Amino acid sequence: MGEKTAIEIENPTPPVSRRKLLRFITALLGLFGMGAIFSSIIAFLTPPRSALKKVGGWQFVGTLSEFKENSLVKTYFGLPVILIKNGKGLFSFSTVCPHLGCIVIWDEKKKKFICPCHDAAFDEEGKVLKGPVKPYNLLPMEIKVEGERISLKLPEDKLPAYPSWFRITMISGV
């Protein structure tokens, strides 16, 4: 009496139940699923360098004599881009506002580019003067003048300083 039989001896390590095992496998699959979703989002927000190379390269936009002094010339190559010739030289930049992507317009009276969406303002060289867009200037294009020929290029080295959505807009066009 009082002695335990072999059947009554308690098992110190209870076996893993089938329910616990299923829960563990489900959690593991969930983690893999979340990982796949996050990696897709990160890939979407980070444009690959190959995409930048696709839009890179110089594009001929006209000749020096075509552009009058103090003129604003809108040129397009997948993006709305402006080329300005004034007493200080040639300037070119994208007219996509780096705040939320509206297209800035030139205000002749104020001599400024104004964003119609949230009233940001930029000077004639594309530098931000006011608005919720600070610290971003209008994206300056690279300019190459060979004799009379003017060519423009998207500045790959300046793009990383801009928000992800803006970079995607620049490399895919608007």
Alpha carbons 68 and 85: distance in angstroms, whole number: 7
- Smallest gap from Cβ 125 to ligand FES, in A, equals 17
Q: In what order do the strands lie in the sheet with 121-122?
A: 105-107, 112-114, 121-122, 128-130
C-beta separation of 121 from 115 below 8 A: yes
Q: Considering the complex, state which of residue 73 and residue 100 has its C-beta at the smaller distance from ligand FES.
A: 100
Q: Considering the complex, state which of residue 84 and residue 138 has its C-beta at the smaller distance from ligand FES.
A: 138
Interacting residues with ligand FES (CB under 6 A): 97, 99-100, 102, 115, 117-118, 120, 131-133
- Smallest gap from Cβ 104 to ligand FES, in A, equals 7
Q: In what order do the strands lie in the sheet with 80-86?
A: 71-76, 80-86, 89-94
- Smallest gap from Cβ 164 to ligand FES, in A, equals 16
Residue 167 β-bridge partners: none
- Smallest gap from Cβ 139 to ligand FES, in A, equals 13
